[in-house]
Amino acid sequence: MHAEKLSFDLFNALPDVECQERIRAAKARLGRKVVLLCHHYQRADIYQHADLTGDSLKLARLASQSDAQYIVFCGVHFMAEVADILSKPEQTAILPDLAAGCSMADMANLAKVERCWCELSAVLNAEEEVMPVTYINSAADLKAFCGEHGGIVCTSSNARTIAEWAFARRPKILFFPDQHLGRWTGHKMGIPLDEMMVWDPDLENGGLTVEQIRKAKLLLWKGHCSVHQMFQKSQIDAFRQQYPEGKVIAHPECNFEVCLNSDDVGSTEYIVKVIKEAPSGTRWLVGTELNLVDRLAREMLPQGKIIQFMSHITCMCSTMQRIDPQHLAWVLENLAEGCVVNAIQVPPHEAELARVALERMLAVS
């Protein structure tokens, strides 16, 4: 690996059009050495360069199946970590802007999860009674925690299958960091709301009594997505009043009321599939990130489908948005010159345990 040749300062001030040309030229030079994986929430000026697109589950699989030397991940940090963990040792995962994190993933950390596990162990035999399940939107050390404690990873598209796997092995689940995906999954499995307790990591015993911990089937970490929390039931009500024939679809990171009042709930890939397969002339209210909804609206217009965004205010994932043409041009030109910048390398011991939890997920789903 060479030292960094091209400084980001040379790209920072470049106009977008010039970056677009340089991205195309660098990709052409790199050929099959590079693959650009792109999450559905990426902005249009990045998405147009994608080799492969998808939701978190699809992208994790694609990363594990790719033969490219460089996997450039246009998404957020935990996705690039998964690509690094699941790819071969000779491959390199790259995140064009290292500041592209996930605010939900940051709501749980290893110290807090370990404290939670200790507190649960004082009340229960946690290793036998509680299955740790982490949403893929989490740092690699939390996936490693799950790998070490018999647990597993899930995504928004396989959460129910994974929860069934978990309940077949232990009577309770500790689900982190997204309480909403956990609650919606539990609800779909018929678990009553009073058997799904929120675990507040900043309070002793999660803010729960010993009886509540014993009664809970699902312990839901008090975390959420700041983008999806902007969607509200009142927005669905207003849409239904104006367009009674319209359909509503939401991502399971939305709050319980929004999911309950939607016609359909699913991952980003699922939302894309349902809307693409819908009859022409249909109208949809969509509760997920704006870049995806805008793209669907543009793509579906020729088929006479009308796609509306659920909120009246802009809900973009500001960290996904950080992957811009300047950063993408910078990493690709460096790669074309033989320099790796912004490689994501999960420490080997952590990667090994995290891989256990991820491979359990891939095998089950």
112 vs 90: CA distance, rounded Å = 34
Binding mask 229-258 for ligand SF4 (x = CB under 6 A): ------------------------x-----
Which partner, ligand SF4, ligand 13P, none, binds residue 267 by CB below 5 to 8 Å per kind?
ligand 13P
CA–CA gap between residue 271 and residue 307 (Å, rounded): 11
Scan residues 61-80 and list those touching ligand SF4 (CB under 6 A): 76
Q: Which of 159, 320, 323, 353 binds ligand SF4 (CB under 6 A)?
A: 320
304 burial (CB, 10 Å; 0-12 / 13-18 / 19+) is: exposed
227 lines the binding site for ligand SF4 (CB under 6 A): yes
Query: Taking CB under 6 A as the rule, does residue 53 contact ligand 13P?
Result: no
Cα(270)–Cα(167) distance, integer angstroms: 25
Would you give the DSSP letter of residue 232? -
Could you tell me where the DSSP H helices lie in the chain? 9-12, 16-30, 44-47, 56-65, 77-86, 110-123, 126-129, 140-148, 159-167, 179-188, 210-215, 233-242, 256-260, 268-277, 290-300, 325-336, 348-364
The SS3 assignment for 217 reads: coil
Q: How far is the CB of 37 from ligand 13P (least distance, A)?
A: 12
Nearer to ligand SF4, 208 or 323 (CB): 323
Q: Which two tokens stand for residue 151?
A: 């647990």
At closest approach, how far in Å is the CB of 321 from ligand SF4?
9
Question: SS3 of 267, please?
Answer: coil
Query: Closest separation between CB of residue 193 and ligand SF4, Å?
Result: 23
- Show the site string, 108-147: x = touches ligand SF4 by CB under 6 A, - = not: -----------------------------x----------
Binder to ligand SF4 among 174, 317, 332, 357 (CB under 6 A)?
317
| Binding of residue 104 to ligand SF4 (CB under 6 A) | yes
Give CA–CA dist 56/195, Å, rounded: 28
From candidates 42, 53, 155, 255, binder to ligand 13P by CB under 6 A: 155
d(CA 89, CA 96): 20
- Integer Cα distance of 270 and 226 in angstroms: 21
Distance CA 100, CA 62 (A): 20
Closest approach of ligand 13P to the CB of residue 344, in Å: 17
Give the range of 61-69, 110-118, 312-320, 355-363 binding ligand SF4 by CB under 6 A. Answer: 312-320
Binding residue (CB under 6 A) for ligand 13P from 97, 253, 324, 333: 253
55 sits near ligand 13P (criterion: CB under 6 A): yes
Residues in contact with ligand SF4 by the rule CB under 6 A: 76, 102-104, 137, 225-227, 253, 289, 317, 319-320
